[in-house]
Structure 1
Amino acid sequence: MTDIEFMDRSETLLLAIEERCDQINETTDADLDSQRSGGMVTITFANRSQIVVNLQKPLHEVWMAAQSGGYHYKFDGSAWLDTKTGAEFFAELSRDASAQSGRALTFQA
């Protein structure tokens, strides 16, 4: 993957997170606060816990830090997959956001 391809793919991922946070806030009382700063999105939950998703441009990876741990994802041509377990990014974001918010939340590409 070229640097330009990485930036295109990763920008799409960050935008999907931001848009989904907005949708969740419009349709539920989950009260998510998503803040974007360059290549990083921070989601803050009502209980003040956070999930941080940021880009690691030199490695062409997306990193996620949540209460459950830290994760690294690479794009395989169709999805962002965990470099250790092969789990899909949005499935893991949904799992961690649900755990940290105390309600079922779903994120998708």
Structure 2
Amino acid sequence: MTDPEYMDRAEAALAAIEQACDRLNDALDVDLDNQRVGGMITITFANGSQLIVNLQKPLQEIWLAARSGGYHYRHDGTAWVDTKTGEEFFGNLSREATLQAGRPLAFTPG
């Protein structure tokens, strides 16, 4: 994948996360605070816990930091997948957000 392709896909993923936070706040009143600085989004939950998603441009990856650990995702042509487990990024983000929020939260790629 070229650098511009990576950036297009990665920026689309970050935009989808921001939109999902807005949608979840409106629909479920979960009090998610999302802040974006450059290629990094910090999602803060009502209990003070955080998820951090950031772009790793030199590696063409997206990284997720959660209470359960850190995850690295690479685009396989279809989706962002974990480099160790093969799990899809948005499914894993939904699982981690659900754990940290204490209620079901769903993030989708678009």
TM-score normalised to structure 2 length: 0.98
What CA distance in whole angstroms lies between the structure 1 residues aligned with 2:20 and 2:108? 8
Please name the residue that 2:32 is paired with.
Answer: 32
What CA distance in whole angstroms lies between the structure 2 residues aligned with 1:28 and 1:83? 32
What CA distance in whole angstroms lies between the structure 2 residues aligned with 1:86 and 1:51? 20
Please name the residue that 2:95 is paired with.
Answer: 95
Number of equivalent positions: 109
Q: What is the CA deviation profile of residues 12-48 of structure 1, one whole-angstrom value per residue up to 9, with x for unaligned ones?
A: 0000000000000011121000000000000000000
What CA distance in whole angstroms lies between the structure 2 residues aligned with 1:28 and 1:92? 20
Q: The residue matched to 2:47 in structure 1 has which SS? A: coil
Q: Percent identity?
A: 64
Structure 1 residue ranges, 4+ long, deviating more than 4 angstroms after superposition:
none
The answer to whether structure 1 residue 60 and structure 2 residue 86 are counterparts is: no
What CA distance in whole angstroms lies between the structure 2 residues aligned with 1:51 and 1:59? 20
TM-score normalised to structure 1 length: 0.99
Please name the residue that 1:78 is paired with.
Answer: 78
Q: What is the CA deviation profile of residues 27-81 of structure 1, one whole-angstrom value per residue up to 9, with x for unaligned ones?
A: 1121000000000000000000000000000000000000010000000000000
RMSD: 0.4
